[in-house]
Each structure stands twice: as structure tokens, then as C-alpha cells.
Structure 1
Amino acid sequence: MKKNMIPGSFQLMKKINTGLVLDTIRLYAPISRVEISKMLNLTPATVTNITAELLKRNIIIESDFGKSTGGRKPVLLKINPDSYYVIAVHIGSTKLRVSVMNMESEIICSLTEKLYPNMEFEKVKDIMIDFINQLIKEYLPEKNKILGIGVAAHGLVDFNNGTITFAPNFGWKNINLREILEREFDVPAFVDRDVRAMAMAESWYGEGREVEDFICIKVGYGIGAAFIKDKQQLRGASDGLGEFGHMKVEINGTKCICGNYGCLENYASERAIVRYAMENGYRDELDIEKIHEEVNKGNQKIIDAVKKAGFYLGLGISNLINIFNPRLIVIGGDLIDINDLFFDELLLSAKNYSLQELFQNVNIKRTQTGKDAITKGAALLVLDNLFDSIQKEVIS
């Protein structure tokens, strides 16, 4: 073993390479093994062994022959989109979304239900199971084609145990969702935080594709962060790393749904904008779509509310920049997806409150995967496990 090589890093590299090969085929198919090798700077033997295992599992198929450069025409590869499917579940702060995705990461169909504060888990569970059964019945009659169920959930999640430790918007504690889903559907299930799912989607398909390390921030009804190091999630001692929304920004601030006071998400989230708008004299109902609509109309009460929330998020981000000195911060979620004013304001605030030497070396970008980031990330929880099993069989 090489000096300074961390334990398990060979296995990790095989897993990453398998994901890269599959994603390259997905993006550039039909493509030859030689082209994959050159694009990813992998040895021909590594690519051959990985693609052999993917072919064996029917995840990819051989397509037409490519152009010859003097010898035998190369065999081209492409994804077999209907070889397997993944059920992706997003339990957000305000909505439940259940989707079926194919091996090309396309969302085949989705069902959505609005959720409410303090909604009982049993009610949400019944809706989720009903949605999954509906989708299986209509789109997945061959049960053996379901690779598994991936769940991205709001709140604190213990990934290893598949447990929602604490969902503050609903008041849920210690819900072993993996056990419930595996017992109900007899397929593997994986549960992680929504922002980590978003970070995984960006790492595979978005701004994080070409980098090893970055910070991902999700902002909507609540706020969270995920930290990617060497293409892997950093999790913390109790799987709680990334509670960025509960950074304290006002010592004598308003009470948060977590029970504490002065948390960032009380000042920089969608619900903060609603509160600011009401303080400014706005009296109509306000949700994310209405916020966007009123900003476009030039409603100054809403514009001021959005700018104030953006200011606070930028303040929080400046702390991340000053502490971690990242090269890339990727931001997604409902507020980012639809509102340029909010994004522009947070950039200005982050610049003003960061050490300038550090700010000059960070790129702050929107997610490329947009509104489907968390759903795609939930599916990747399942695919990532698939690569765990494949890499054990592939010899580089």
C-alpha cells in the first residue's frame, strides 16, 4: 500500500470509477470503451472490467459499431434505461413527492401531496405507501426490476440505521423508516437528509461533477448544508453535520421550530420572508410561487422581505467561507430555483462579510439539477449502494 493511502481507498476508488463510467455512458452514449478510458483518464483494463460487470447486470448494453481508425470497428455502449428502476421519495417540510426513475436518471412519473406542520407520521406513511403501491401497479409490474427505494427526508437522519432522528417541522423522533419500507416492499431502502441527496445529485450530475470537495446548501422552508470531501459525504460524530440552518445569527432572536432562538433559518428561509412581509404590512397569503410573482410585479414589501432574507443567508455563508475556505459552494432549493433577487442579495452579503482573500477563491453557484435535485439524489442513494456491490467484484 502506498504511503498516506487511507484504508479502504482502493475500494472507494473502484466505486467512484464505476459511477463515473456509468455516468459517462449515460451522457455520451453511444460511446466506446476507448473513448471512456480517454475521457476519464482510466486504464483500458479498468474500463473493460467495469463495463463487463455492468453488461453482466444488463445495466448497459452494446450498441452499434463505431468508426474504425484502421483496425476493427469499436463496439459502442449505451445505458439500458429500462433494465431497472428506482423509487425516489422526498419528504420535504411542506410536501411529499414519490417518483419512479429509470437508469438514465429520468423521472418517469411522480405523485405529490402537500404536508402540514405537526402532521402525524402515520398519516404521511400511509400516503407514501399508497403512492408507492400506485406507481408499482401502474409502471413497475415486474417487481424484480426495482433496485430499491431511496428516501431524502427533512430534518436529522441517521443514514446507517435508516432512521429519521428528528424532523422539526413535524415533531417526529426516531422513525426507523428503512425498516418500515423494507418490511412493506421487500426491497432495499436507504434514507438520508434532503440536502445530502441534493449534494449527491450535484456531485454526479451538476456543478460538483469536476470537483472533489464542495459545500452544498439547500434553502426553502428550512435551510441545511452538506459537505462533500473526496467525493464522499462528511457526516459528523452523530450524523448531524450540516445543520447550517441552526447557526445562531441573532442572540435575542425569534424562537425557531427546533426550540432554540436566533437560528439562521428563522431569518433567511421562505418562512422568514413571510414573516418579514407581514411586518411590512402585507396581509395576503404567501407561498413560494406568490413570493416570486409579487417580486416580478415590483411589490416593494415583498422585495424588501426577500432582500432581507438574502442578506442573512449571505451572512451565514460568509461564516462558512471564513471557516472552511471552500473553492465551491452550490446553493439550491425553492427560493434559489425561482428568485434571482434572493440569490443576488446573498452573493452581495457573502462578499461583504467574508475575508476578501477567501471570497476571491470561492465560486458560489446555483445547482444545475434544479427542482429535481433532491429526487435525483434520493435515487442515487440506491445506485450508490449498487456500485458498492459492483466494486467488490471489479478488479482494476
Structure 2
Amino acid sequence: MEKQDQLLMKKQNKNLVLEIIKNQSPISRMEIAKVTGMSPTSITRIVNELHLQGFVRETELVTSGVGRKAVLLDVCGDVLYTVGVEIDKLIIKIGIVNYVGEIVAWKGIPRDVSESYYETLEKVNVNVKELISKNCILNKRIIGIGVGIPGSIDYKNGVVKVSDQLKWKNVNIAKDLKQLTAFDVMIDNELKMKIVAENSKGIAKDSQNAVLVGIGSGIGSAIILNGEIYRGDSNNAGEIGHTVIDPTGNVCNCGKIGCLATYISEGALIDDSRKVKEIDTIDDVFDSYRNGESWAINIMDRTSTYIALAISNILCLYNPEVIILSGNTIEKLPEIKEPIKQKCELYIWEPLKERIKIAFSQLGDRGVVLGAAIQAQNLMLDLE
């Protein structure tokens, strides 16, 4: 038991040192010793091990000042990679991400709504392997795949319980995709993966409490509380799209009446628009709004109102430092940002206004892929 405790402590110390170098590089051995409280001898031993494993390198930089100059340490981005995948209704996005969280390869592949579950998985398999081969990355350097999917996800068992957008129910994508690719696979809700990216590389990087709202083919949110993803009992915390705003309203795919998603999702906006004009896509709705067509202005005014109300309710429940708006609607119609802000001024409870930061994601269409890859690394990297 004592030997196991010692091995565990050594592993924890090694992880701690690597994390410090990764987050604070370039940094000297002496600075690491001060931060950790470990002896310089222990730090030297751990750094030597990490160097032999390919994680750490000495930089050409040295500290300046009086006395002996210390060599600084940095991490090697190409020591390992993870693959991030986003599967959405009409597109599959794939990115290869290195150890320091940089997307080094990227591909977007159209997805047909008529595709079967297995056709989609085979498409992911083929394109992941092509992307790895095209970028001359050795398979042994890929430690796993992370997948972000809209819907209710059993992330512990790798199962999509239900995805309205993809029309999938009770499918074990982690197991099935691993059989195809031979890589370990983890899956999670797409917005939870996107907030991982925001918390690691984006607007919420320095926040302990943050909420991300995604508005597009559906609407949902993801929550970081005390630096961790808040999942609730069944990983469905943040599913605001199925909060009821009008019990006599529209019928939702979930079977309930008056869900928020039935008013501001892309499908809902298209359906409402078709009552007035022949509309094919959400882009047609947005073009009509830009052209000043009164019906489109009314629909998007209602949309911005419901978004602001959703934000207000989230703020009252979780009181985060920052709330980030993202998704296809925000990206394709940036003109809606200002109306949302104005409506937020109207509806947010006064005591919350002073400190809350409302921001718009800067990660574009790569947030889910990046977050899924980072989460895969967090879960799958096991230092010997």
C-alpha cells in the first residue's frame, strides 16, 4: 500500500510539473520549485523524465538579471495529438489538435439529413484517417478522439441517448467509432465541449464560473461552475431549449408544448417565415431581415427578446462572471448582437448588471472540435 501511495504521489507531482510548464512557459526549474514547494533535485529529476518522454524541451531563452542565467523550459506541441469531431445536422467537422491546443489540420464534410447512423460514422472514419495521413502524423502519436454531438449524451458510457437534430436514439457511438478507427473515443454534448474550449483558449479562460449559450439548429447552454463542467444528475444541465415559455404554444419535437426551441431555433424561424413567404433556408430569412422586410424584422425582434429572456433567467440561476453567446444564428447574423444587448438591458435583474460580462464567442465554427479534442486529451493522457 505504501509503495502504491508513493507511485501515485510521484505521478501527481509529474503531472503538476508538466501542467505548470505548459501553462507558464517559458519557465525555469527554480521557478517551478518555488511554485510547487518541491526540492530543486526533485524538479530536475521530473523534468529529465519529461524531456526523455518528449514532453519538455529547453528553449533558447534564458532568464536575465544578476548572477547565473537559468535555462527556461517549454513544452513540445508535437509530442501527441487528439482528434476533435463535431457531428451536426448538415456538417461534420474534424480537427487534429496538438498538445498545446493548436488546431494543426482541419476539414469540413457535408452531411445529408438522410444519412444513416452507420453512414455518418463511416464518413467520420474515412476522413479522420485521410486527415492524419495527409498531415504525416504517426498513429502512435494520436491518443484518442473526442466527439461533440447535439442532444442528451451519456458521456460515461459513450451513448447518445437522444439527438433531435441527428434523429439518433440510444446509439453507442464511442464503441462503434472505436471499432472503425481503432482509436479510443469519448463523446459529450457539443456545447459542453465548446465551453471546454472557451475555458481553455477563449473568452472564459480566466473564469471559474461561466455560461455558454448556443443558438442555431437548436438552443442550449453549457455551464462551468467552480472551474468544472456542471452536468446535473444526467448530464442535461443547461438544456434551456426545452424550458417551457408558453404552455399553449408550439409543439416541440420532444412532445411538449411551448418549448423555447420552438420559437428561436433555425427550424422554427423557417417555419414561421414560410407562413409569409416562400423560404428555403435560414439564410433566406436573414437576407429578408437585412433587406428590411417587416415580417422578418418582427420574427428576429421576437427572437432577440426570447434570447435576452433566456440570458436573464440563466444569470438569476447561476450568477456567472461571463455569459458567452455562440452558434450559427450569431455567426450568420451578427446584426442581431446589438438588439440582444439592448433587450438584455431591459430584462436582466439590476443587481446582476454591474458585474456580468456578456460576450460573443471568438472561436467561430471550430469551438466544438477544439473543445472535444482538449477534453479527449484531459481524459486520455496518462503519464507513466
For the aligned pair, the TM-score class normalised by the smaller chain equals 0.7 to 0.9
Equivalent residue, structure 2, for 1:312 = 306
Counterparts in 2 of 1:158 and 1:292: CA distance versus 1, 3 Å:
same
Counterparts in 2 of 1:14 and 1:118: CA distance versus 1, 3 Å:
farther
Task: Find the aligned partners of 2:24 and 2:256 in 1 and give their Cα distance.
Answer: 45
**Aligned counterparts, 1:247-266, within 5 A:** 247-266=243-262
Q: 1:131 offset after TM fit, Å?
A: 1.2
User: Please, which moves more after superposition, 245-254 or 63-72?
Assistant: 63-72
Counterparts in 2 of 1:285 and 1:374: CA distance versus 1, 3 Å:
same
1:276 to 272, 276, 292: 272
Residue type at the aligned position of 2:329: L
Task: Find the aligned partners of 1:168 and 1:270 in 2 and give their Cα distance.
Answer: 13
Counterparts in 2 of 1:16 and 1:80: CA distance versus 1, 3 Å:
closer
Q: 1:108 offset after TM fit, Å?
A: 2.8
Equivalent residue, structure 1, for 2:230 = 234
Equivalent residue, structure 1, for 2:128 = 132
After superposition, the C-alpha distances for 1:30-83 in whole angstroms (9 at most, x for unaligned) are: x22379769xx9446499588666534323322213243122322233342322
2:318 to 309, 317, 324: 324
Identity of aligned residues (%): 23
Equivalent residue, structure 2, for 1:149 = 145
Q: 1:136 offset after TM fit, Å?
A: 2.8
1:352 partnered with 2:346: yes
Q: Given that residues 202 and 209 in structure 1 are in contact (C-alpha distance below 8 angstroms), is that contact kept between their aligned partners in structure 2?
A: yes
Task: Find the aligned partners of 1:199 and 1:141 in 2 and give their Cα distance.
Answer: 27
Equivalent residue, structure 2, for 1:287 = 282
After superposition, the C-alpha distances for 1:144-188 in whole angstroms (9 at most, x for unaligned) are: 111210101111111111111111123211111111222233322
Q: TM-score, normalised by structure 1?
A: 0.83
- Structure 2: gaps spanning 5 or more residues: 1-10
CA-based RMSD of the aligned residues comes to: 3.0
Equivalent residue, structure 1, for 2:4 = none
Q: 1:107 offset after TM fit, Å?
A: 2.5
Residue type at the aligned position of 1:32: I
Task: Find the aligned partners of 2:351 and 2:63 in 1 and give their Cα distance.
Answer: 50
1:32 to 20, 27, 30: 27
Equivalent residue, structure 1, for 2:163 = 167
Q: 1:297 offset after TM fit, Å?
A: 4.3
- Structure 1: gaps spanning 5 or more residues: 1-10, 26-30
Task: Find the aligned partners of 1:182 and 1:66 in 2 and give their Cα distance.
Answer: 44
Equivalent residue, structure 1, for 2:177 = 181
Equivalent residue, structure 2, for 1:103 = 99
2:196 to 192, 197, 200: 200
